[in-house]
Structure 1
Amino acid sequence: MELPVYTKQQLALRNGQDKPQIWVAYKGFIYDMTDSRLWRNGKHYEHWAGQDLTDELQDAPHTEAVFEKFTPVAKMI
């Protein structure tokens, strides 16, 4: 299945505030975190939804394996 493609601006709207979806990007893929209890109101500790978190992962207490629990919903260009 071919994933839809979104821009950084489109991703930014899926922040749990402007739109109900809570999406984040990592390594070119967009993940839907809407159902994750760790992303309530579009915030996860000091991180906000609607952003590319690729460069921020190094500061997280977890590895990129956390994204294996989620299915990508789109690609980011």
Structure 2
Amino acid sequence: MPVHNTSLPGYTRSQLALRNGQDRDEIWCAYEGIIYDLSTSRLWRNGKHYEHWAGQDLTDELVGAPHSNGVFDRFAAVGKLI
């Protein structure tokens, strides 16, 4: 389960959307209010992973994924969605 760190900086949905791997090099996604940096993942090149796009909240989309939310444990938490 991701650790919710209250000392993380806050980012709006608009700010998160800029970190989509296209407008900037950063590839970020949010899950349960925490924003993760997925830039190091080869599966997220160019900000896309199967039918999912970076720069958005993936909380509702994870329901249909073939993996658990533990996948986010591999990535650094860089902020919280405000």
Global fold match (TM > 0.5):
yes
Identity %: 68
> Which residue number corresponds to residue 60 of structure 2?
55
Letter in 1 for 2:35: I
Query: Where is the helix percentage greater, Structure 1 or Structure 2?
Result: 1
> Which residue number corresponds to residue 39 of structure 1?
44
CA distance in 1, matches of 2:73, 2:39: 16
Deviation at 1:71? Answer: 2.0
The normalised TM-score by structure 1 is: 0.96
Letter in 2 for 1:22: I
SS in 2 for 1:54: coil
CA distance in 1, matches of 2:57, 2:67: 16
Confirm or deny that 1:6 pairs with 2:21: no
Q: Work out the number of aligned pairs and report it.
A: 77
The normalised TM-score by structure 2 is: 0.90
Task: Supply the RMSD in Å over aligned alpha carbons.
Answer: 1.0
Confirm or deny that 1:26 pairs with 2:31: yes
Q: Which runs of 5+ in 2 are unaligned?
A: none
In the TM superposition, structure 1's runs of 4+ consecutive aligned residues that sit over 3 Å from their partners are: none
Aligned counterpart in structure 2 of residue 74 of structure 1, from 51, 57, 79: 79
CA distance in 2, matches of 1:69, 1:48: 18
Deviation at 1:54? Answer: 0.1
